[in-house]
Amino acid sequence: MKTLIKLLAVVLTTGSVITGCEGPMGPAGTAGIDGKDANATCTQCHNSTGVDSVSLQFELSKHAYGETAFEEAGSTGCSPCHESEAFKYVVENNVSTVFTIVPPATTYSNPYASSPDKSYGAMRCNMCHSKLHTSYTFADFMPLTTTAPVPLTFLGGAKTVNLTQDDSKSNLCIKCHQPRPFTNSNTDKNVLNYAGLVSNPNAVFYDAAQSNSLNVLKPSYRTSTHNGTIAVIFAGVGGVEFGTGYSNSQHTTVASCQDCHMAPMTGKAGGHTFSAQSNFNGCNVAGCHATNPISSSTTSVYWKQTRDGVKAQLDALAAKLVEGGVEILGRNGDASANLWAGLTTNNYDGNLNLYDPVNNPAGSLYNTTMFQNPSTSGFTADQITTNSALPKLTLTNAQMGAIINFQLCLRDFSLGIHNKAYTTTLLANSIAVLP
Ligand code: HEC
Ligand code: HEC
Ligand code: HEC
Ligand code: HEC
Ligand code: HEC
């Protein structure tokens, strides 16, 4: 903001700067624009209730204060969702999410990546408002960078989500807030056949004792959906759907991300903070929950009972994902490291309970016994000895599917608020499919 104020001060006092340098120009076609006209167009946005106040809200958004835009800069695979220039790149080039074999390779690869020269960029206003400073009028805020339907990278593009309510603005958010694909690490490196987990639940998915060519995927501590699973849960598309009875809550077709996450501010939430935490302004509007307002009170059916119910289901599913007395899901009680601490009684973080002193050195603080890690890369000799004394993990298709569903529902973060009907059925059927 300091640079902005300084630069604007220059622009406002010396109108010639606008036409005379490489800096922001007046609207196209208004040759001979003098300082006054340019200022008038600038101030459509640059005023205390416009850009300035939105910028202050945005400072409270994890898009702004989160650190991943710095940490993942340079990574073409991570950048489509973590870097502003990369996000615009995958949008502009309509980069495919369909796994392909690119000769001379003989195995599949995931094309959903940015290019090396575009894999950077903090998340600022122009990430979502990519037309800023083109016509230099307020109209530049729209259209948003994208509102197009989103082919899910999680499914290698096999299904597309299109949330058309509210001018399809939710599609902007789910382009990033969608899970990442599981891939067949041992075999053809294609996207995991999720439907195969459902059709053949009792088959062995992974067993260290059998040859690697039979184990499509070698589990690791980090075998997971990644963090933003909202697209799948909110749309009710792409869970590992054991059993029957799937339906969606009204939210799926009626509410947009913006309705709840950009509602009028209260506390640290709403507007361009993009947070919905403790902000019920979006819920309690006419046509939605105005007549029976929702709150966090213990008697609130929609809030408290939904969330308590989903938490209990997550707890129950975790309790079934146990083998020989050892939990398959890892715990992490450190709320600074586990984004989902508190969402389950035992503070699962969605990662697997495999011994991994390299990536999860604090694991033993929270898990009394762990499974042996099939990979010991980076381990010391002592750690390799410790690892080989641990029990080996085996997984059935049903267990793998249930793990995926657990991760999808935990990491959706809303404990059923996004889509109660789909979440509760996905969890209930996952619990039921396990012995
Ligand atoms: C469509 C609304 C809009 C209009 C019109 C507009 N700006 Fe901006 N401008 C923005 C936004 C949004 C930002 C980014 C603010 C932020 O990052 O907090 C910005 C940032 C800037 C910056 C700071 C750049 C930086 O890197 O820090 C300058 C300088 C600037 N604008 C000058 C102008 C001038 C001069 C005009 C008129 C010729 C103008 N703007 C018109 C929306 C607008
Ligand atoms: C370019 C990808 C991208 C887009 C587009 C995007 N987000 Fe995000 N969002 C992220 C990433 C990445 C983070 C986490 C940043 C970090 O921790 O460094 C995040 C964080 C968040 C958080 C905070 C989550 C937490 O753990 O506290 C919320 C809420 C959120 N986004 C909502 C939205 C909404 C609503 C939209 C649409 C208006 C949206 N996002 C659009 C990538 C995106
Ligand atoms: C398909 C989009 C997508 C891709 C690709 C992706 N991420 Fe993310 N990532 C997200 C979103 C969205 C969030 C924030 C989720 C939330 O907080 O609800 C996130 C969160 C994170 C966080 C947690 C940040 C925090 O707040 O603690 C880390 C770390 C991270 N990502 C690393 C990576 C790395 C490393 C890669 C590449 C190997 C990667 N991501 C690829 C979407 C993506
Ligand atoms: C993660 C995406 C995202 C980012 C980043 C973002 N915005 Fe927005 N912005 C939106 C969305 C979505 C809307 C539409 C909200 C609605 O429909 O309620 C919007 C609406 C606006 C509007 C109202 C425009 C209109 O035509 O009514 C302004 C002004 C605005 N944003 C300014 C900013 C500024 C300034 C920044 C940076 C400080 C910023 N935005 C960053 C997504 C974003
Ligand atoms: C009906 C209201 C509603 C809608 C619609 C909605 N959300 Fe949420 N969202 C919530 C609530 C409530 C939470 C949990 C906040 C809390 O824990 O206090 C949440 C949590 C989240 C989080 C984690 C936030 C955090 O602070 O860690 C992200 C990211 C998110 N939602 C993204 C989205 C996206 C993307 C969409 C659109 C597809 C969406 N939400 C639609 C209500 C909504």
pLDDT in 10s for each residue of the chain, 435 residues: 334 433 443 344 333 333 323 334 444 433 334 444 657 789 999 998 889 999 999 999 999 999 999 999 999 999 999 999 999 999 999 999 999 999 999 999 999 999 999 999 999 999 999 999 999 999 999 999 999 999 999 999 999 999 999 999 999 999 999 999 999 998 899 999 999 999 999 999 999 888 888 898 999 999 999 999 999 999 999 999 999 999 999 999 999 999 999 999 999 999 999 999 999 999 999 999 999 999 998 888 999 999 999 999 999 999 999 999 999 999 999 999 999 999 999 999 999 999 999 999 999 999 999 999 999 999 999 999 999 999 999 999 999 999 999 999 999 999 999 999 999 999 999 999 999
Query: Which pLDDT does position 300 carry in this prediction?
Result: 87
Which two structure tokens, joined as six digits, stand for 418?
């996004």
Confirm or reject: Cβ of 275 under 6 Å from ligand 5: yes
Residue nearest atom 5 of ligand 2, based on CA coordinates: 173
Residue with tokens 């007549």: 291
Q: Name every protein residue with a CB atom under 6 angstroms from any ligand 4 atom.
A: 50-51, 54-55, 58, 63, 123-125, 127-129, 141-142, 144, 169, 172, 258, 262, 272
Closest CA to 81 of 165, 154, 161, 132: 154
Which two structure tokens, joined as six digits, stand for 115?
């290019």
Ligand 2 centroid – CA 161 distance (Å) = 18
Closest CA to 63 of 293, 347, 274, 365: 274
Residue 225 CA to residue 239 CA, distance in Å, equals 11
Ligand 1 atom with least separation from CA of 4: 23
What is the distance of C-alpha 309 from the center of its chain?
23
Residue 191 CA to residue 193 CA, distance in Å, equals 6
Ligand 3 centroid – CA 46 distance (Å) = 32
CA distances from 74 to 113, 179, 222 (A): 11, 21, 21
Q: How many CB atoms lie within 10 A of CB 234?
A: 28
Residue 310 CA to residue 128 CA, distance in Å, equals 32
Query: Which pLDDT does position 298 carry in this prediction?
Result: 85
Residues in contact with 175: Cβ distance below 8 Å, sequence separation at least 6, in sequence order: 81, 87, 91, 146, 150
Query: Which pLDDT does position 49 carry in this prediction?
Result: 87
Residue 209 CA to residue 344 CA, distance in Å, equals 33
| Ligand number with the minimum distance to the CA of 289 | 5
Ligand 2 atom with least separation from CA of 80: 1
Residue 259 CA to residue 275 CA, distance in Å, equals 11
Tell me if 122 sits within 8 A of 202, measured CB to CB: no
Query: Which pLDDT does position 290 carry in this prediction?
Result: 95
